[in-house]
Structure 1
Amino acid sequence: MNIHTGSGILSGMDISALTTTNDIEQLRAMALAMVQKVMSENAKLVAEKDRELRTKNQRIQLLEEMLKLVRQQRFGKKCETLAGMQRSLFEEDVDADIAELTAQLDKLLPPSVEEDDKAPRSRPVRKPLPSHLPRVEKEIPPATDHCPECNEPLRYIRDAVSEKLEYIPAHFVVNRYVRPQYSCPCCQKVFSGEMPAHILPKSAVEPSVIAQVVINKYCDHLPLYRQRPIFARSDVDLPVSSMADMVGASGAALSPLAALLHRELMSRPVVHADETTLKILDTKKGGKSCSGYLWAYVSGERSGSQIVCFDCRPGRGHEYPENWLQGWSGTLVVDGHKAYRTLANKVPEITLAGCWAHARRGFADLYKISKDPRAAIAVKKIAGLYRLEKKISSRPVEKIRQWRQRYARPILEDLWSWLEEQEARCSPGRALHKAIVYALSHRVELSRFLEDGAVPLDNNVCERAIKNVVLGRKSWLFAGSRMAGERAAQIMSLLETAKRNGLEPHAWLTNVLKRLPSWPEDRLEELLPLPGFVFSD
């Protein structure tokens, strides 16, 4: 038998020795020996605990240093120098690193009493899970129906409900079309039901599969060769050539809808425009890539349901928007690209409105680099315009115009006066001077929003449409041909418009691909991805 004491462990042999002798000196010696033994064992235990504690503290210190370093990389100046897709990929990886390091620290650092007593830190409010998703009830009853303290029966009072999102991987099914065949003994003919019309009559896939391939390519930026191994994980072999046939057939079937969407956009009084580079392989030059441009046109947010149209062209001269906007009259919201001014000079029916986000950017970038107080003043004055816009954004267009005339005009006049003063004092060629000259040289366009409540302050709505293309460009790098670029522009126009109007792209595209082969041409507008779209059974 072993007896545990406050300072060690006494074995059964030690206890029996103490009880079988009457010699005081022997008892004293034995007791002293046992105490020394216990102290020696305790010293070993303490040393072992110290080693474990030192190892743990070193691990904690290392993790804390790593966490500080990763946070500095995530939120410091190094992160600010990255741009576009590179920055997005950097941030998502670093955020995952921060979460992993924090989880490891939480395991090593038990919550202290002092922290428990402190008021809980405010955390961002988590968005509720989408209400349209089906709910699966999973009831978790208590471990016992009696109180563990007094053994009294427990009484139900209410449900504590928490929700967690679960992912069920997509799966394939095979639809078997059984068509009973009947013969006519008299006519010697066989009759059966007709197969549903299909954009690829000889294909072995349903429109839903075609839609998924198209969505993967144009919404999720997955080239066809990357899609094949994804489908292969479900033991489905879709050759790249077969998927290319699906994309080509979809482009041909959707082309009339894209043209109709273009005509619908031309009826809007306010349109945004922007452009971005798009490399295109030139098949006539041995597959070498040449520079092309993807032009984006977006309807004004206060001029009806949202429409997004893309147009693939070999350059960024004024002739391309001139051709695309032929016959249109209205206000075109743009950045400072000179092609738009040339267009407006040639076509008097088109009025240009400037982008305050571009005008602000020169001052904001300068302040980040040099902390120039004059740049800060410019940013602050421009912010006054945006504060007013936020306040009046939900009002009718005419009310917005009235508020702008009353409150935005004085802010703008003060800004112009200040910019003119600073231009005279600033040395030409400096970053501040360039930002001032940009704003003053676009004064007319940047003041256009005062006269029309439907005209926004900036061109951000179009830049958001372009952003999806910029992200995708990092994956597919180039369009395989001029025709491929035009097809991509048409398909992306329809899918982006669907998203802007709250339609799930795959659901809309699947439904449309089912209906298009037998749909009458004079009713095509019913299939446009606009708020009035009605899904068929």
Structure 2
Amino acid sequence: METAPATLQELPPELRAFVEGLLAEKDAMIAKLGADLEKLQHQFELMIKKMFGRSSEKLDPNQLLMDALMLQAQDSCAEAAPELPAAQPAPSSAAPKVCKRNGRTPIADHLKRNDIVIDVPESEKICPVTGKERPCIGEEVTEKYHYVRETLEVNRYIRKKYGSPMGAEENGVVTAPLPPSLLPRCMADASMLAHIAVSKFDDHLPLHRNEKMFLRQGAQISRKTMADWMRNLADGLRPLEKRIAELILDCGVVHHDDTPVDRLDPGAGQTKESRVWVAVSGQGPPLVHFSFTPNRKQAHVLSFFRGYGGAVMCDEYAGYANVECGVMQSCWAHARRKIHDGCKSQPPYRARVLLEIAALYAIEERIRDASPEERARVRDTESRAQLAKVFEAVESKTFTPGSQGGKAQNYILGHRKQLSAFVEDANLPIDNNAAERAIRRVAIGRKNWLFLGSETGGATATTLMSLLGSCWANRINPVAYLTDVIEVLPVTPAGQIDTLLPHLWIKRHPTAELPPIK
């Protein structure tokens, strides 16, 4: 009886080639299934994070160092993971932070006080021992917030009319004119328009909710009427929106980003995806500008940055490749997020890269309030050296082509020049978080009003959000700002329109400044 061959080499040549082909197919199939499994696992983790997890990738280095895998990564690295620099003491000119535990925030002094005097009963004013009247020795004051419900009122403009004397009727009738108005035939005054605009585009209340709230006060104001008011208001405020865009481009550093928004498509009976773009000033006065486009074609980006020669901080959208500018930057927050989400199957590598990026951010945090000269010096020495360590950590591993880790690695290495640009200029930012913070109001809004009604509605929304976003960036009460601007814009000369921009308006109305969020 013949025995089976012990090795593959003992097989006949034809059979050996056939078996080797089967084994190669098996290895290729295993590799493909492994890549598919990694991709599906990555998508599953992203979905779970989106539904239940926090969006921040903030690192706790101490927690990472306690991880056994992190310890393994440190042992395997030629150089120990960098320690984050200790927090620098605050400058002597800065007011020391007072930490209150279990304390109440005092009620603001400017709020109206209504005194409610509570006296003891007359019988207790007499001393039971002496029979004499007790002397009043002071008061106990307790303050509580009291909410006065907003109510609708009607302003009646009674205009006097004067005729002509007998025999001079040809001189006609003289009637007192109405005050100048941004929306002459509108039934809502400046305060009403400001309230609806802030409710819809700052508090994210859909118009049908405002309609119901007004109905509780006995006023029937349809959502269609309010939508018409907002469209006409945006048309009147558009010169201010255009000036915000011009000033942002004049500042020399622009954060830019976009996000999808659904728009009704009546002909198709469904919605189509449109885009809302945001531009934020990287230096100078804090200004925010939103714009709407029915698609994501690069025509908008090219049009917005036409003639611009400064720096642009943006994501990897291919449309930016054709933008003519001085410096094109990529965002380290995007790069960190790709490592954070795409390399979970490689914990030692992931931890090492994230710690190196955290050390880079720690340097930026330390020089945030430094002078441009000091920031340039630190970036040229410490940041440049730490940047080299980051790229070294990124290059320390070879990934399978097409894997999530490989995509994250290729993104960082492919954008090395754009990610390194900030060390060359003290005025350049390290990431695009300013634009991401600004565009959050769009993301929150679409969860409430779900979609835009039309392209005109998109233009209306972005015009009003530009002014409201700039108000928030300057810590301005948006209702007070819009109410005043709507009233005075019709009588403001064209050459003085800049005085109504949020960062200049607040200088003349300091009481409209919002208190800091604690």
TM-superposed CA distance for 1:469, in Å, is 0.2
| Aligned-partner residue type, residue 250 of structure 1 | L
TM-superposed CA distance for 1:493, in Å, is 0.8
TM-superposed CA distance for 1:460, in Å, is 0.7
Q: Which residue of 2 aligns with 1:455?
A: 428
**3-state DSSP of counterpart to 1:446:** helix
In structure 2, relative to structure 1, the CA distance for the partners of 1:135 and 1:304 (3 Å cut) is: farther
Q: Which residue of 2 aligns with 1:356?
A: 332
Q: Which residue of 1 aligns with 2:65?
A: none
CA distance in 2, matches of 1:81, 1:130: 42
TM-superposed CA distance for 1:373, in Å, is 2.5
CA distance in 1, matches of 2:137, 2:309: 66
Q: Which residue of 1 aligns with 2:243?
A: 260
In structure 2, relative to structure 1, the CA distance for the partners of 1:338 and 1:164 (3 Å cut) is: farther
Q: 1:65-104, aligned counterparts within 5 Å?
A: 81=48, 83=50
User: Does the alignment pair 1:469 with 2:431?
Assistant: no
CA distance in 2, matches of 1:82, 1:142: 59
**3-state DSSP of counterpart to 1:221:** coil
TM-score normalised per structure 1: 0.69
**Structure having greater relative contact order (Cα 8 Å, sep ≥ 6):** 2
In structure 2, relative to structure 1, the CA distance for the partners of 1:145 and 1:329 (3 Å cut) is: farther
| Aligned-partner residue type, residue 111 of structure 2 | L
CA distance in 1, matches of 2:298, 2:108: 44
CA distance in 1, matches of 2:413, 2:139: 63
CA distance in 1, matches of 2:119, 2:409: 68
| Aligned-partner residue type, residue 83 of structure 1 | K
**3-state DSSP of counterpart to 2:427:** coil
TM-superposed CA distance for 1:131, in Å, is 5.1
In structure 2, relative to structure 1, the CA distance for the partners of 1:178 and 1:257 (3 Å cut) is: same
Report which of the two has the higher share of helix.
Answer: 1
Q: Which residue of 2 aligns with 1:405?
A: 380
| Aligned-partner residue type, residue 472 of structure 1 | G
Q: 1:267-286, aligned counterparts within 5 Å?
A: 267-283=250-266, 285-286=267-268
**Unpaired stretches in structure 2, ≥5 consecutive residues:** 1-43, 55-99, 512-518
1:388 to 354, 363, 367: 363
CA distance in 1, matches of 2:498, 2:209: 34
CA distance in 1, matches of 2:256, 2:47: 27
CA distance in 2, matches of 1:498, 1:182: 44
CA contact (8 A) 1:282 1:290 kept: yes
Q: Which residue of 2 aligns with 1:324?
A: 304
**3-state DSSP of counterpart to 1:209:** helix
1:288 to 270, 286, 300: 270
Report the more deviating stretch, 482-491 or 215-224. 215-224
Percent identity among equivalent residues? 32
User: Does the alignment pair 1:183 with 2:163?
Assistant: yes
Report the more deviating stretch, 249-258 or 197-206. 197-206
**3-state DSSP of counterpart to 1:291:** strand
User: Does the alignment pair 1:415 with 2:390?
Assistant: yes
User: Does the alignment pair 1:213 with 2:213?
Assistant: no
**3-state DSSP of counterpart to 1:421:** coil
TM-superposed CA distance for 1:470, in Å, is 0.7
| Aligned-partner residue type, residue 430 of structure 2 | L
In structure 2, relative to structure 1, the CA distance for the partners of 1:536 and 1:385 (3 Å cut) is: closer
CA contact (8 A) 1:258 1:493 kept: yes
Q: Which residue of 2 aligns with 1:167?
A: 147
**3-state DSSP of counterpart to 1:297:** strand
**3-state DSSP of counterpart to 1:275:** strand
CA distance in 2, matches of 1:382, 1:154: 71
In structure 2, relative to structure 1, the CA distance for the partners of 1:243 and 1:166 (3 Å cut) is: same
TM-superposed CA distance for 1:389, in Å, is 1.6
Q: Which residue of 1 aligns with 2:25?
A: none
CA distance in 2, matches of 1:359, 1:147: 77
**3-state DSSP of counterpart to 1:310:** strand
User: Does the alignment pair 1:193 with 2:160?
Assistant: no
Structure having the higher Rg? 1
Q: Which residue of 1 aligns with 2:84?
A: none
CA contact (8 A) 2:230 2:460 kept: no
**Unpaired stretches in structure 1, ≥5 consecutive residues:** 1-76, 89-121
Number of equivalenced pairs? 417
CA distance in 2, matches of 1:155, 1:80: 70
User: Does the alignment pair 1:244 with 2:224?
Assistant: no
